[in-house]
């Protein structure tokens, strides 16, 4: 079935063959439903069939009003559970409260949502309000309630517990996921609220299908549903004339929206709907765009969702080790004619810093990683070589730091500096994408003078033009041989002193140097005169022949860099050496 046919079939369904009266007795079943539209008939039907129902909602006043009216209608009383899906802290608190009351959960209706709100609205943690609420919030709540769902499956006669995930026909118009729009930035604003909504509804299906695949053999039945085009307050952010037209020709009374959800969540046939997509009214639908069945994309989304809700080590301020290490940067008299340089890297016990052919190795633990991000906030700029930029595609930001308090300024972002003598940087790299999205600073590229030869110059200038159009600024550095040892500190034909001179002329007074191996070796070769602080993280592991180390030739006595501090950071050991002025 094509896109147009599917859209028409879902928008104008035939008369339903399923009726609320068909629902079996639900005595002993615990069900949870996110509650905004309590008058749609779903909760009434569940209570009338003797289910124990939790209503998850933000407002206690509105929830109590709904519970009181439902009791008048059904004689049964629902239970309020405070939940704001746009705040992950609220999601966690709600799940903990439910777990303190119930050991089992038999049906979870993930049916709250927001549609086309003003673009400046985001979640408490800064996610796009639609994706953060419709997808991330539901994912986290479901993840936290998995123990209760698995217990509910074991106690059920059919060995099943059900998760009903509400999507929409709008998902038909999302042909993929743009992960750059999940958090606030230029890419998100450029996409617009309608496409962001469609993307979130595709996310519901992708997540639902992944849940079905991962937990189906443990009794979890995960189904995604399009409840239909309904007259509810979900469209409250739409222009009034659009709402009026839709109400006249497209929308059905709200109680119709309960039918497909109730069928998936309560009927015996629902136990066989794992991984299915249901359309109005209570029919199994097909997907005209294959992206919803793309297992690779499903896994990418699942991984992203897991990363957002992972328990994170929190370091709310820079460790004293950093304050001590960098304290002299503002007190050197007379001031330096170059930036203060902090050289930092992580190494294994056998002094390996990268994988074979320069591939990235994740050596340091989470504590050391967060320390490094704090270190970035304490420098004007951060420098890496082109090898690191190509192999790792780093962001060089402070994304792993806890968000500042509402009254505190944003964390300082260092200026990214890439040493790239041949202008090989990818114009679609994360550094440039972050700058264009408004989430990072403009990268500076330090490069060599124009090469000899007309053909080489033309190619070089073309690459320069592409990078500048992508947002980079390119600065030419004229190599200057080191006195007494010409060429030893060259990094891609550029010397450390010449690079530092250009950066100082650009107003950079403190520079953090992170790698890779060639850059580290170059700065170590000049450690006595050009490195002010050396911070090395030593990870408790051996890499062996699969790794790459660093090498250097010191130019003078090593006495001017002295060890000042060592400190454990999780499983790592951090060593600090400082220059004695």
Please identify every residue annotated as catalytic: 167, 197, 201
Number of H helices, E strands in the chain: 20, 21
* Token pair of 522 as six digits: 């170059």
* Number of other CB atoms surrounding residue 149 within 10 Å: 27
Measured CA to CA, the distance from residue 55 to residue 78 in angstroms comes to: 7
Distance linking the first and last C-alpha atoms of the chain: 76
Mode of pairing for the β-strands spanning 415-419 and 561-569:
unpaired
- Rounded distance between C-alpha atoms, residue 396 and residue 439, angstroms: 11
d(CA 112, CA 124): 17
| Residues contacting residue 72 through CB under 8 Å, at least 6 positions apart | none
Residue the block writes with tokens 């911070």:
535
Cα 555 to the chain's mean position, in Å? Answer: 45
Cα separation, 19 vs 263, in Å, equals 9
User: What would you report as the CA-atom Rg of the chain, rounded to the nearest whole angstrom?
Assistant: 29
Q: Which of 282, 290, 281, 275 is nearest to 11 (CA)?
A: 281
Residue among 382, 479, 385, 473 at smallest CA distance from 424: 385
DSSP string computed for 83-125: --TT-HHHHHHHHHHHHHH-S---EEEE-----S--TT-B-TT
Distance CA 203, CA 212 (A): 14
Q: Are 366 and 498 in contact (CB under 8 A)?
A: no
Chain center to CA of 380:
26
The structure tokens listed for 538 are 């030593």
CA distances from residue 24 to 29, 75, 216, 268, 571 in whole angstroms, order as listed:
11, 18, 23, 8, 55
Q: What is the widest separation between alpha-carbon atoms in the chain?
A: 93
Q: Which residue from 288, 291, 294 is spatially nearest to 4, judged by alpha carbons?
A: 288
């Amino acid at each position: 079935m094509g896109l147009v046919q599917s859209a028409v079939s879902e928008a104008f369904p035939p008369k339903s063959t399923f009726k609320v009266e068909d629902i079996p007795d639900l005595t002993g079943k615990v069900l949870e439903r996110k509650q905004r539209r309590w008058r749609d008939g779903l909760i009434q039907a569940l209570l009338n069939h003797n289910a124990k129902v939790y209503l998850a909602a933000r407002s206690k006043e509105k929830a109590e009003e709904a519970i009181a009216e439902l009791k008048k209608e059904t004689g049964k009383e629902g239970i309020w559970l405070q939940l704001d899906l746009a705040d992950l802290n609220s999601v966690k608190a709600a799940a903990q409260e439910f777990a303190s009351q119930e050991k089992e959960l038999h049906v979870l209706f993930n049916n709250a949502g927001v549609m086309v709100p003003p673009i400046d609205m985001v979640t408490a943690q800064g996610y796009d309000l639609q994706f953060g609420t419709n997808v991330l919030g539901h994912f986290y709540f479901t993840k936290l309630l998995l123990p209760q769902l698995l217990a509910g499956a074991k106690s059920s006669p059919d060995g099943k517990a059900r998760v009903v995930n509400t999507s929409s026909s709008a998902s038909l118009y999302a042909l993929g996921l743009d992960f750059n729009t999940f958090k606030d930035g230029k890419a998100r604003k450029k996409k617009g609220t309608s496409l962001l909504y469609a993307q979130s509804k595709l996310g519901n299906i992708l997540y639902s299908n992944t849940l079905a695949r991962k937990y189906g053999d443990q009794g979890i039945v995960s189904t995604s549903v399009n409840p239909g085009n309904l007259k509810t307050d979900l469209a409250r952010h739409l222009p009034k004339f659009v709402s009026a037209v839709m109400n006249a020709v497209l929308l059905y009374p709200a109680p119709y929206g309960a039918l497909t959800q109730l069928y998936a969540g309560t009927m015996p046939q629902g136990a066989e709907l794992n991984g299915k997509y249901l359309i109005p009214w209570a029919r199994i639908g097909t997907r005209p765009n294959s992206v919803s069945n793309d297992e690779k994309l499903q896994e990418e989304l699942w991984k992203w969702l897991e990363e957002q809700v992972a328990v994170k080590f929190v370091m709310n301020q820079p460790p004293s080790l950093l304050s001590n290490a960098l304290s002299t940067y503002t007190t050197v008299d007379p001031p330096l004619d170059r930036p203060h340089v902090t050289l930092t890297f992580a190494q294994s016990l056998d002094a390996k810093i990268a994988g074979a052919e320069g591939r990235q190795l994740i050596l340091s633990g989470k504590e050391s990683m967060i320390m490094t991000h704090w270190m970035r906030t304490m420098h004007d700029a951060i420098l890496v070589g082109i090898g690191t930029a190509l192999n790792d595609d780093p962001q060089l930001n402070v994304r792993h730091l806890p968000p500042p308090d509402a009254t505190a300024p944003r964390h300082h972002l260092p200026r990214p500096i890439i040493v790239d003598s041949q202008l090989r940087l990818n114009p679609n790299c994360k550094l440039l994408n972050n700058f264009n999205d408004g989430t990072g600073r403009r990268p500076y590229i330090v490069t060599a003078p124009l090469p000899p030869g007309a053909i080489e110059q033309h190619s070089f200038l073309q690459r320069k033009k592409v990078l500048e159009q992508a947002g980079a600024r390119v600065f030419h550095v004229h190599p200057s041989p080191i006195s007494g040892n010409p060429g030893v500190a060259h990094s891609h034909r550029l010397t450390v002193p010449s690079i530092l001179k250009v950066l100082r002329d650009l107003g950079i007074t403190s520079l953090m140097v992170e790698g890779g191996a060639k850059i580290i070796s170059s700065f170590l070769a000049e450690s006595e005169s050009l490195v002010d602080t050396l911070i090395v993280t030593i990870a408790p592991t051996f890499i062996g022949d699969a790794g790459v180390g660093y090498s250097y030739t010191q130019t003078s006595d090593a006495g001017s860099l002295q060890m000042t501090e060592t400190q454990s950071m999780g499983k790592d050991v951090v060593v600090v050496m400082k220059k004695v002025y």
